Structure 1
Amino acid sequence: MIVNRREAFVGRALLVLLMLITLVPFVSLFVTALHPSGTYPLGISWPASPQWGNFAAAFQAADMGALLLSSALIVVGVVPASLLLGTMAGYAFGNLRMRGHRAVFLLFVLGLTLPFEGILTPLYFQIRDLGLLNTRWAIILPLIGLFMPFSVLWMRAHFVNVPGELSEAASVDGASTWQQFWRIQVPLATPALTSLGILLFLWTWNQFLLAIVLVDDASKRTMAGALGAFQGQYGTDIPLLCAGAVLILAPTLAVFLIFQRRFVAALLQGSVKG
């Protein structure tokens, strides 16, 4: 019993330590954003007169309204398509077991090993030849392809654990494969779809590298990608730069906090099934 209490204490202490390590950068960013514009704050110190107007100034200086619209359009273009294609492919690999599925599935697994940096140069020339440079499609289409390996593996991990008796019973009742997929499998996959959608949203919203390489117009980038242009213009004004960074982080934090229970529930469901 003493050992169990000791282990519980050590585990909680490590969790608190990790939480502090995670929160300190965000607290430092937020506190720095409240200092007077043009100053150089040292360490984490609450200003004597918090400048809440820095957030409004950063919003106007970076034209955050246009960036919010651009990021929303990119997210709408990437996330639904990735969810649809990933779910259909995951169901095919997890339930249909078509001929040669192992070799094709191995290609998706290998796709997880490809870093963005390694394919950036050929991707640039391909997007240029398609005439899509400096458009939002230059971000949307590559992200859909780059997210496919993870999306397929994530959804396959769910479908492979669904009892085969459900499909067999539906087949006996005369349901086609398409009907089984939409009326039985997809509703059961709601937790996995929700958690995958959250991850895809976070990754798309925070996409930086593709945005700055493939799109020159900052108003057509993601908010994270536009931070590069904002930093180049206001790099000497640290509080204003931190205020802009906080505004960019706010939507992702809000989405995660709102859907964190569903996300954790999906992870726990997968661990129990696994």
Structure 2
Amino acid sequence: MAVTLLPFVAMLITALHEPGRPPTGLSLPTTAHWENFTAAFEATNFLQLAASSSLIVLGVVPAALLFSSLAGFALGYLRPKGRRAVYVAFLLGLTIPFESAVIPLYYQAAELGTLNTQWALILPLVGLAMPFGVFWMTGHFRSVPLELSEAARMDGASTLQLFRHIHLPLAVPALVTLGILLFLNTWNHFILAIVLIDDPAKRTMAGALGAFQGQYQTDIVLLCAAAILLMAPTLIVFLLLQRHFVKAVLAGAIKG
């Protein structure tokens, strides 16, 4: 825990120093300059960036959760013919380096006319989330006891009703965990935000931090203050949903 928290503590201490004078090591400032966060808030145009990032997240996360749960239910419970080939195809998507798809995505976004818009990020990120999302949800639906589905079938439940009323409520911890991971990946996405969007106001938070770093490359104090502000939403979301996250992670370690 100390090793994990040390970089964040160092960043906070640096952000409290006088602008333009970064500390050497972990030396505490004689006077805490909390106004650095106000300056970073204004310099990064935080509210506009938060709105842009929220729009991208709302476009990516719900769609990715829907498609992943439907595909996972089909592959993990319905198990149609050819499911293994489809499942392996999704797994192969996990082995493809993301950087190799940046240039093709740029030309595809140019043909679709989505360059310099949030759609240039939303559409690719939904597709890039599918390999891990399908893998995650397929593993969950495979672990659901068949007795529950058989009892619902005997009561006349259709496949859609079985998915909606039986499997989907049981999948809430897995969906919340996947949603948190997708949120973190989308909110902090950097490469596509820089390549596909020229307007900094339409990028994600991480993409804006890259532009901020270029603008204040020598002012480490303001850069650390901006980084803390940009990380705050992700920490808040994780703290609010950590109970479901831990429950889903531990589910695979508890037999039955």
TM-score using structure 2 length: 0.97
Deviations 1:26-72 (A, max 9, x none): 11111101111111321111100010000011000110010000010
Which of the residues 221, 233, 236 maps onto 2:215?
A: 233
Counterpart check, 1:267 vs 2:249:
yes
Structure 1 residue 273: deviation in Å?
A: 4.2
Kindly provide the amino acid, as one letter, of the partner of residue 182 in structure 1: R
TM-score using structure 1 length: 0.91
**1:88 alignment counterpart:** 70
**1:110 alignment counterpart:** 92
Deviations 1:157-216 (A, max 9, x none): 110011112222212211110010001110011111111111111111111111111111
Structure 1 residue 143: deviation in Å?
A: 0.5
Kindly provide the amino acid, as one letter, of the partner of residue 45 in structure 1: S
Which sections of structure 2, spanning at least 5 residues, go unmatched? none
Distance 2:145 2:112 in 1: 44
Counterpart check, 1:131 vs 2:113:
yes
Deviations 1:121-171 (A, max 9, x none): 111111111111111011111010000011111111110011112222212
Structure 1 residue 259: deviation in Å?
A: 1.7
Distance 1:137 1:199 in 2: 20
CA-atom RMSD in angstroms: 1.1
Which sections of structure 1, spanning at least 5 residues, go unmatched? 1-18
Distance 1:153 1:200 in 2: 14
SS in 2 for 1:50: coil
The percentage of counterpart residues that share the same residue type is: 62
Which of the residues 191, 199, 202 maps onto 2:184?
A: 202
Which of the residues 30, 37, 55 maps onto 1:73?
A: 55
Distance 1:45 1:181 in 2: 56
Distance 1:118 1:89 in 2: 25
SS in 2 for 1:160: helix
**1:12 alignment counterpart:** none
Counterpart check, 1:160 vs 2:135:
no
Distance 1:273 1:193 in 2: 20
